[in-house]
Amino acid sequence: MDKRDYISNIKFFFLIFIPLTLFFGCITGLFLYQEVNKQTSLLQSNEMQTIEKLSRVANENIRSVVSDLFLLSADPAMYRMIADENVATRQELARLFKKLSRRTGLYDQIRFLDAIGVERVRINYNQGLPVQVPVGRLQNKGKRYYFQDTFKLEPGRIFVSPFDLNVEQGKVEVPLKPMIRFGTPVIDPKGVKHGIVLLNYFGKELLANLEQAASESAGKLMLLNDRGYWLKGLDKNDEWGFMFSHRNNLTLAQRHPETWKIISAGEEGQFRNDQGIYTFTTLRPLDRNMQSSIGSAAADQASAAALSNREFAWKIVNLVTSHTLQKRMGAILYGWLPYLGLAVAFLAIVSWAISLTSTLRKQTQAERLHRERLQGVLEMAGAVCHEINQPLMSISGYSELLLLDTEPGSPAGDKAEKIKSQADRMGIITKKLMRITKYETKGYLKGNIVDIDKAVDDVGARMGKPAPLG
């Protein structure tokens, strides 16, 4: 393959390869678009299932605490305590509280407060080694909102505090200790209230259980209260803003107003914006016999208003960030990249094969045409030589006779000599015609004619093979 054929082959290769690649690219793009949509739909479905799972986990945690609370309030040890408080009944109740604290590990404090809010029995979890607080260190919690809101309930009803941070001596306890307080009135067989049982539930247990339930999710878990404050956020510095005066503007409503508008307005749902894919549900963990209140961060301040079981709500939110979505999309593309590379390589091989086949076919056609032309020339040359040789022999013979009959140097002799010379020249031409082995042309006037000198067999010409004249 000469340079001209090679360049022609390259051009034809790109003429085939580029359209094929563009067509394949369109098909591949459509396929990848559908694959990304499919994976995104699957992701969204998984996130909805995760949110449902988180809702079940939260409700199960709350029901477990409520069950413990009712068991304590109705235990015979409690009845003996309120019927006749003394050292023995206090110790019996303390043993009951310790047993529950040690067995569950869910409660920072388990307390019995009397009708005016004074702690009568208090067990501190003490990092897994429950300890009874001495009588001299028991405190009056009568002004705390959780006591007042619980004590005024009807028997059999439960108070659940807002999910907030534990406050000791008027200050937020450090390290931060998320807490939910569950309380119920304690009554005697006649229905007379004698105080309340109060469980300080470790909020970190609920958060840890939610995180565990969401561990297989592609999203990031958030838990918000009904005002949009983060109880669990993407950044720990954003959490519990309502407990600190200098951070009370840290809400989802302040940071992403449109996002909070959608979440706060719906019971559950899923939507996508520039931040990613949000999946959310409204968790209402309180049953009909339960209520809450707005609460108060101040130690001696009553809660501003009560909240019914329908008004008490958290928002469980899972966010698959835009960055995560881009990484997942990139993973899909990278996953298909080797196959796409193989496909493009296959297209290149096919295109080159087609191009090479086309070039070879053209070469074959050119060689066939060349042979046909050469055959025509040879046949024509043979016919011309055959027809010319006999007259040429006669001319050559007569010119030799004329030379014999004339004086050398005479005008007639010179003419005879010229005739003999031209006849010999024609003989040389016929010899060349008989030795043509290839088809070569040269320009002549406005067209081309056979170039006899180039078309003859050079080896034969050098050997001086004679051309027969008959």
Percent above pLDDT 70 for the chain: 94
How many CB atoms neighbour CB 276 within 10 A?
A: 18
Highest average pLDDT, of 236-250, 296-310, 396-410, comes from: 236-250
| pLDDT at res. 109 | 95
Q: Which fold has domain 355-463?
A: Helix Hairpins (1.10.287)
Kindly state the average pLDDT of the residues 356-381.
79
Q: List, in sequence order, every beta strand (DSSP E) within 357-451.
A: 441-444, 447-450
Pair 358, 260: CB distance under 8 Å: no
Query: Does 460 score more than 70 pLDDT?
Result: no
Amino acid letter for position 395: I
CA distance 310 to 290: 10
Pair 442, 448: CB distance under 8 Å: yes
This prediction's pTM:
0.71
Q: Nearest to residue 420, comparing CAs of 396, 393, 389, 402?
A: 396
Query: Does 469 score more than 60 pLDDT?
Result: no
Kindly state the average pLDDT of the residues 357-379.
79
| pLDDT at res. 458 | 55
pLDDT classification of 90: cutoffs 50, 70, 90:
very high
What are the tokens at 375?
């055959």
| pLDDT at res. 470 | 39
| pLDDT tens readout for residues 415-459 | 878 888 888 888 888 777 777 776 677 777 777 777 777 767 654
| pLDDT at res. 387 | 78
Look at 94 and 336; give whichever has higher pLDDT: 94
| pLDDT at res. 462 | 47
Q: Mean of the per-residue pLDDT values for the chain?
A: 87
| pLDDT tens readout for residues 3-21 | 777 787 788 888 888 998 8
Pair 194, 326: CB distance under 8 Å: no
What are the tokens at 57?
């986990």
